[in-house]
Amino acid sequence: MIAVKDEVRTLLDRLPDDCSMEDVQYHLYVIDKIRRSLARVEKEGPMEHDEVEKMCLRWLSV
- Model confidence at 1: pLDDT above 70: no
- Model confidence at 2: pLDDT above 80: no
Distance CA 15, CA 43 (A): 32
Task: Compute the average pLDDT of residues 47-59.
Answer: 94
Q: Quick one: CA dihedral 59, 60, 61, 62, positive or negative?
A: positive
Residues 13-35 have pLDDT tens digits of 999 999 999 999 999 999 999 99
